Amino acid sequence: MQVEQIAIFLENRAGRLAEITSTLAENGINIRALSLADTADFGILRLIVNDVDKASQILKDHGFTVGRTEVLVVEVPDQPGGLAGALSAINKARLNIEYMYAFSQRSGESGLIIFRFDDQEAAVKVFQEAGLRILNGEEVYAI
């Protein structure tokens, strides 16, 4: 049920993000979702891509520091309160969200929320009990 994400550590300087995205594009890697967080000195780029193994190797070969983590991708209604319902279930279970980001495919259908928890297995149970669908890697990579 978990989806593999890559995280790239990069120095905070002009052109670095463009270099990563160009490198992936030149090698046929399609980015499905991304999140970028930065400080004054460095950034962490988190990516969901269509081919995690290939993307990781290509970026390492180009000198980037790449990590891999598992995240949960949860489908919520794309309407007011869709995210609030998922977060309410998590709050009731007293689970800690390390980070999250989101995307939607078509307005009015569903949104996809990417979560990283300190207890991923407990989060799976909470989402299942709340009737929310958790996507697997194949579904997400094929979007």
How high is the pLDDT of residue 107? 67
Nearest alpha carbon to residue 87 among 140, 133, 124, 127 = 127
3-state helix vs strand vs coil in the chain, percent to 5: 35, 40, 25
List, for the chain, all residue ranges whose pLDDT scores fall below the cut of 50.
Answer: none
Q: pLDDT digits over 44-57, tens only? A: 999 999 999 999 99
Report the pLDDT value the prediction gives residue 16, as an integer from 0 to 100.
86
* Res 108: pLDDT: 65
Which pLDDT score, from 0 to 100, does residue 103 have?
84
Backbone phi, psi, residue 25, to 5°: -60, -45
- For residue 24 the two structure tokens come to 């992936």
pTM: 0.88
Domains defined for the chain, CATH in brackets? 3-69 (3.30.2130.10), 71-141 (3.30.70.260)
